[in-house]
Chain A
Amino acid sequence: MTARLSAWLYRHSRAGLAVLLSAPLAWLLLAYLGSLAVLFLSAFWTVNGFTGDVVRVPTLDNFITIVQSAVYRTVAVRSVGVAAAVTVVTLIFALPMAFFMAKVAAPRWRHWLVIAILTPLWASYLVKAYAWRVMLANGGLIDSILGGPGHGPGYGLPATVIVLSYLWLPYMILPIYAGLDRLPNSLLEASADLGGRGWRTFRSVVLPMLVPSIFAGSIFTFSLSLGDYITVQIVGGKTQLIGNLVYANVGAADNLPFAAALATIPAVIMVIYLYAVSRSGALEEL
C-alpha cells in the first residue's frame, strides 16, 4: 500500500508539493494573513460611544482623527525617533565588537565570543528590562556611580533608548559578525598594500561591503523598537510610544478599531523600511 502510494507520489510530484504546502499555507493564510486582513478591515470600523459596540460601517474617521490630532503625530515621530536612535546606538557598539570578533581575536577565541554574545539572547526579555529598572532606580547602581540619588538619567525617554539598545544589541552584532567573517582577509591586505591605513581601509573597503549586514541588523533593532510598549512601561516613566497607545486602545478604552488604525502606522513604516533595505540584499542576510 505505502509502496503504491510512494510510487504514485513519485510520478505526481506536484501532488507531493500540494500535500507539503497545504497545512502550512492553510495555517499562515488563515491564522495570520486572515487575522491581518480582519485587523486592516476593522481599522475602518468605529465604536459606538454610547453602547461600546463595534459599528461595522466602513469610514475613514479613525484615520482622520489620527492625522488631525497633534498628540498622535508627536507620538508617531517620537516612536520612529526612538527606533532610529536605538539602531544608531546598537550600531556604534556592534561595529567595533563584531570587527574584533571576526578579524582581531585569535581564531580559537572567536567561537567563545560568539557564544558570549548569544547567551544573553536566551535570558528573558523581561528579566533584562527589569535588571535595568533596578539599576536605573532612584539611588540604584547607576545613580551611585554617577554621584548619588538623582544624578543618573532615571526613568524616561533616555532610559528607554538605553534599555532597548541593550536588548537588541546582539541582533545587530551577529549579522555584522557574519558579514565580516565572510569578508576575505586578502581584501584588507590588498588595501594595506595600496597604502590604506586601518581607518581608511575600514571606511573604503569594509564598510561598503558590510551595508547589507548592517541593514539586516537594523531590521531587527528598528522593528523590535517600533512596536515595543513593555520596556517603555518598565523604564520609560510617563513616556508614550505608538505601542502604548495601541495597547491602551485595545485594553482600557476597548476601542479595537481605533487601535487597529493606530497599528497601521508601524506596519506601514516597517513595510516601507523592509522594501527600502531589501534593495541592498539585506533580506538574504537575515
Chain B
Amino acid sequence: MTLSPTARWMLRLAMAVGLAVIYVPLLIVLINSFNIDRTFAWPPPGWTTQWWGRAWDSTGARQALWTSVRAGLGATAVALVLGTMVAFAVQRYSFFGRNSVSLLVVLPIALPGIITGIALDAAFRSVVEPVGIGKGLLSVVIGHATFCVVVVFNNVLARLRRLGGNLEEASADLGADTFQTFRYVTFPLLRSALFAGGLLAFALSFDEIVVTTFTAGPGVQTLPIWIFSNLFRPNQAPVINVVAAVLIVLSVVPIYLAQRISADAAGGGRV
C-alpha cells in the first residue's frame, strides 16, 4: 500500500509512543526500588539498596512465593492432563456436541474472573463444606486449573491440527500399537506444545488474584494476595516495590524460554 512519508512517520511515532507507554511504568517500578524516599517522591531525592535487603528478609513474601509456586505447579499439572485429553478428543474424533465442548473449555476464561470466583466459592460453601472439607490450597488449585485448561488445550489442539495423522498411521503400519505410537511418535512431537501450554498455564496461575481471593482457605496466601494485602500499608510500600521489580525482571524468563521452544519447534518442523 502506498503510504505517504508523513503517514509512515506518524505510524512510526505511534509505535514509539505506544511502546514508551507500555514500558515507562515498568521502568519506574525498577527505578523506585532504589528510591530512598518511602513515598517514592519524584524525582528520587537519593538512592539506596536497603529495600532489596528488607524484601529479601521478608518471611511473608517468601512464604507467599512458595504457596504461589505450589498452587501453580498443581494447577499446571491438572491443566496439562485435562487439556491434552480434550484436545485429542476434539481433534481426533467427530461427535455430537463437539463445539459445545470447545466452548465449555473457553468459558472459564471468557467470563469475568469474579464470576468464576464466586461460583466456586458458592459451590464450596453450599456443597463441599457441609461434607467437612474446607477451603485450603487444594481449592485454589481446583479454581486455577479450571481456567488453565484452555491454554493447554489451545496449544495442543493447534499442534495436533498441524501434525495431521500421517505419522501415526505410518507408525501403526509398522506394527506399533496405540500406546507405542503415543510414546514414540505422538508425544515427542507434542512435547514443545505441552511445554508452551504448561508455561502459559503456570504464568496464568502465578498471576491470578480474583479467583484466588474467593477460593483460598484461611491462611493460604499466594504472592498476588500478599502483595494486594500489603499494597495499602505505607510502611510496606518499598518492600512491595522491590517484589514488583523482581516480578518484572522475572517476566523475561518465560519469553526467553518460549523463544527457545519455538526455535526448537521450527527445527522440529522439518519432520
Measured CB to CB, the residues of A under 8 A from B are: 2-3, 5-7, 9-10, 13, 16-17, 20-21, 23-25, 27-29, 31-36, 38-39, 42, 54, 93, 96-97, 99-101, 103-105, 113, 115-120, 122-128, 130-135, 137, 139-141, 144, 166, 169-170, 185, 188-189, 191-192, 197-199, 201, 219, 223-224, 226-230, 234, 243, 246-247, 250, 256, 259-260, 263, 266-267, 270, 274, 283, 286
With A125-B207, A127-B244 already in contact, the answer to whether A6 and B178 are too (CB < 8 A) is yes
CB distance from B205 to the nearest CB of A (A): 12
A130 and B231: CB pair below 8 A?
yes
* Cβ-defined contact, B207 with A124, below 8 A: yes
Which residue of A24, A141, A219, A250 is within 8 Å of B214 (Cβ)? A250
A139-B42, A140-B40, A246-B114 provided; 20 other pairs, C-beta below 8 A? A5-B179, A13-B93, A21-B89, A21-B101, A27-B146, A28-B105, A35-B116, A54-B126, A100-B11, A101-B15, A105-B15, A122-B254, A125-B209, A130-B29, A131-B244, A134-B241, A198-B3, A198-B4, A266-B115, A267-B115
* Interfacial chain A residues near B167, Cβ < 8 Å: none
Find out whether the CB atom of A21 lies under 8 angstroms from the CB atom of B118.
no
| Contact between A226 and B112, CB atoms less than 8 A apart | yes
Question: Can you name 10 A-B residue pairings with CB atoms under 8 Å?
Answer: A24-B89, A32-B108, A36-B119, A117-B22, A124-B224, A124-B251, A243-B112, A243-B114, A250-B214, A263-B118
Q: Is the CB of B112 within 8 A of A234?
A: no
Q: Does B177 contact A (CB under 8 A)?
A: yes
- In the complex, whether B19 has a CB less than 8 A from a CB of chain A is yes
User: For chain B residues 141-157, which have a beta carbon within 8 Å of chain A?
Assistant: 142, 145-146, 149
Q: State in angstroms the CA–CA spacing of A266 and B179 once bound together.
A: 45
Which residues on the A side are within 8 Å of B111 (C-beta)? Answer: 223, 227, 267, 270
Interface presence of B271 (CB below 8 A): no
The one of A32, A100, A192 that contacts B2, using a Cβ cutoff of 8 Å? A192
* List of A residues within 8 angstroms of B244 by Cβ: 124, 126-127, 130-131
Q: A198 and B42: CB pair below 8 A?
A: no
> At the interface, yes or no: B158 with Cβ under 8 Å from chain A?
no
A115 to chain B, nearest CB (A): 6
Residues in A neighbouring B121, C-beta threshold 8 A = 250, 256
B14 near A100: Cβ-Cβ < 8 Å? yes
B95, closest chain A residue (CB): A17
Say yes or no: A20-B86 contact (C-beta < 8 A), given A32-B116, A103-B1.
yes
Complex CA gap A105/B7 in Å reads 13
Q: Which residue from chain A places its CB closest to the CB of B127 in the assembled complex?
A: A38
Q: In the assembled complex, how far is the CB of residue A266 from the closest CB belonging to chain B, in whole angstroms?
A: 5
Which of A28, A123, A140, A263 contacts B248 (CB under 8 A)?
A123
